């Protein structure tokens, strides 16, 4: 099955292991074995390698050219594509952030008042 | 298989038909039959309904409560989750936007100079 680039990117992101690998790579380049380490209790090395291949095919990561040490790194390009795609939904997610802000106003401590432990606003 | 919310959202977005349905809904609420219309040449109504269910399960759309006409609409919440998740990769996609900008500078016509057809910057 041939996937369009965006479907491939979203498909690659639709897995918690792959997202954890990406999160690890925000700290810098890493070898396959380093990336695999945290997962080896729950899955095999070939399973991790397969996840890396999905990320690589989607363009989210790439491997260095050094024959000795081919570290994985994040590619910004597909993230940029997702950000660009999300732009058309801005009004929807901004509305959602506004509602969050409104909610947070009701649960956070008003300035100059005493400490408040509950989540609900108390009557003054 | 139980999916975490982000995996469910990304999984739902990993399909061009589902993204086309969402794009249609940016123009406003629509009934299932209206949403299905553009796809009925290439797929059945149950196939479209299945796509809508995937979007609904991921929280990306919801249906109105009116028993007579239950229009679909976009929910901003999951988009907000994606935007929040993307934030940790900002340095990567901003770098990518910077490179695009640099590239565009080399292919667009400099102000006050003659028309330029080539992609490469000519020596002055």
ipTM of this complex: 0.80
Instruction: List phi, psi (to 5°) of B30.
Output: -150, 150
Give the one of A79, A86, A100 whose C-beta lies nearest to B79's C-beta: A86
Q: What's the pTM?
A: 0.80
Measured CA to CA, the distance from residue B92 to residue B81 in angstroms comes to 19
Q: What is the torsion angle, in degrees rounded to the nearest 10, for the CA atoms of residue B86, residue B91, residue B93 and residue B96?
A: 180
HEC states along A34-85?
A: HHHHHHCCCCCHHHHHHHHHHHHHCCCEEECCCCCCCCEEECCHHHHHHHHH
Record: contact A92-B79, CB cut-off 8 A:
yes
Interface probe with B: pick from A4, A14, A75, most Cβ of B within 10 Å:
A14
Would you say how long chain B is, in residues? 124
Please list every residue in chain B whose beta carbon sits closer than 8 Å to the beta carbon of residue A97: 80
Comparing CB atoms, the residue among A83, A88, A89 nearest residue B86 is: A83
Token pair, residue B28, equals 């406003």
Residue from A8, A59, A60 nearest B86 by CA: A60
Q: How far apart are CA A103 and CA A105, in angstroms?
A: 5
Find the closest chain A residue to B8 by CA distance. A14
Q: CB B97 to CB A75 under 8 A?
A: no
Determine the average pLDDT of the residues in A97-108. 79
Model pLDDT, residue B111: 56
Tokens 């609904």 -> residue: B56
**What's residue A99's pLDDT?**
78
Identify all chain B residues contacting A93, using CB atoms and an 8 Å cutoff.
76, 79-80, 82-83
Window 104-123 of B, Cβ < 8 Å to A = none
Are residues A6 and B26, on separate chains, in Cβ contact within 8 Å? Answer: no
Residue A1 token pair: 């099955």
Residue A123 pLDDT exceeds 70 = no
Q: Which residues pair with A83 in a beta bridge?
A: none
CA angle A9, A14, A16 (to 5 degrees): 125
A48-87 burial: b if 16+ Cβ within 10 Å, else e? beebbebbeebbbbeeeeeeeeebbebbbbbbbbbbebbe
Q: How far is B100 from chain A (nearest CA, A)?
A: 10
In tens, the pLDDT along B54-101 reads 999 999 999 987 777 789 999 999 999 999 999 999 999 888 777 777
Q: Phi/psi of residue A51, each to 5°?
A: -60, -40
Task: Report the SS3 class of residue B63.
Answer: strand
Say if the Cβ atoms of B76 and A95 lie within 8 Å.
Answer: yes
Report the chain B residue with the minimal C-alpha distance to residue A19: B7
By C-alpha distance, the chain B residue nearest A6 is: B14
Asked if A44 is an interface residue toward chain B (Cβ–Cβ < 8 A), one would say: no
Instruction: List Cα–Cα distances, A42 to A17, A37, A56, A122, B11, in angstroms.
Output: 11, 10, 22, 46, 22
Look at residue B124 in the predicted model and tell me its pLDDT: 41
Q: A108 pLDDT exceeds 60? A: yes
Q: Give the pair of three-digit tokens for residue A43.
A: 């899955």
**What per-residue confidence (pLDDT) applies to B66?**
73
User: Is residue A39 within 8 Å of A48, Cβ to Cβ?
Assistant: yes
A89 vs B15, B16, B79: nearest CB: B79
CB contact under 8 A, A92 and B76: yes
Q: What is the pLDDT of residue A124?
A: 41
- For chain B, percent of residues with pLDDT exceeding 90: 65
Length of chain A: 124
What letter does residue A87 receive in the DSSP assignment?
A: G
């Amino acid at each position: 099955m041939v996937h369009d680039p965006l479907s491939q990117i979203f498909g690659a992101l639709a897995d918690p292991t792959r997202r954890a690998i990406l999160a690890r790579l925000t700290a810098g380049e890493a070898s396959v074995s380093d990336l695999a380490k945290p997962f080896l209790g729950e899955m095999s090395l070939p399973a991790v390698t397969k996840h890396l291949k999905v990320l690589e095919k989607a363009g989210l990561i790439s491997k260095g050219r050094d024959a000795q040490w081919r570290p994985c790194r994040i590619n910004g390009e597909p993230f940029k594509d997702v950000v660009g795609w999300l732009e058309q939904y801005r009004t929807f997610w901004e509305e959602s952030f506004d509602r969050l802000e409104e909610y947070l106003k009701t649960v956070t401590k008003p300035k100059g008042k005493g400490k408040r432990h509950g989540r609900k606003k108390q009557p003054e």
